[in-house]
Amino acid sequence: MAKHASPDGISSVLANLHAILPEIEALYKDIHSHPELSMQETRTSGIAADRLRKAGFEVTAGVGKTGVVGLLRNGDGPTVMLRADMDALPIAEGTGLDYASTVTVKGADGKTVPVGHMCGHDMHVAWLVGAATLLSQARNAWKGTLMVVFQPGEETAEGARAMIDDGLLDRFPKPVVTLGQHVMVGPAGFVAGSAGPITSAADSLQIRLFGRGAHGSMPQASIDPVVMAASVVLRLQTVVSREVAATDAAVLTVGVLQAGTKENVIPDDALIKLNVRTFDAGVREHVLAAIERIVNAEAEASGAPRKPEITQLDSYPLNVNDEAASQRVAEAFRGYFSPDKVRHTGPAPASEDFGCFGTAWQVPSVFWFVGGTDPKTYADAKAAGRLNQLPVNHSPQFAPVLHPTLETGVETMVVATLAWLGAT
Q: Please list the helix, strand and coil fractions of the chain in percent, rounded to the nearest 5, in that order.
A: 40, 30, 35
C-beta atoms surrounding 208 within 10 Å = 17
Contacts of 219 (CB under 8 A, 6+ apart): 266
Q: CA 92, CA 77: separation in Å to the nearest integer?
A: 45
**Cis, peptide link before residue 396, omega less than 30° from 0:** no
119: annotated binding-site residue? Answer: yes
Contacts of 382 (CB under 8 A, 6+ apart): none
Of 328, 327, 336, the closest CA to residue 8 belongs to: 336
Q: CA 341, CA 60: separation in Å to the nearest integer?
A: 36
Map residue 74 onto helix, strand or coil: strand
182: annotated binding-site residue? Answer: yes
C-beta atoms surrounding 105 within 10 Å = 15
Q: CA 350, CA 277: separation in Å to the nearest integer?
A: 8
CA distances from 353 to 109, 335, 398 (A): 25, 29, 21
- Contact of 121 with 84, CB cutoff 8 Å: yes
121: annotated binding-site residue? Answer: yes
What's the full length of the chain, in residues?
Answer: 424
- Contact of 125 with 41, CB cutoff 8 Å: no
Q: CA 349, CA 356: separation in Å to the nearest integer?
A: 17
Of 78, 69, 320, the closest CA to residue 176 belongs to: 78
215: annotated binding-site residue? Answer: no
- DSSP label at residue 86: -
Query: Can you say which residues are annotated as belonging to the binding site for Mn(2+)?
Result: 119, 121, 155, 182
Query: Can you say which residues are annotated as belonging to the binding site?
Result: 119, 121, 155, 182
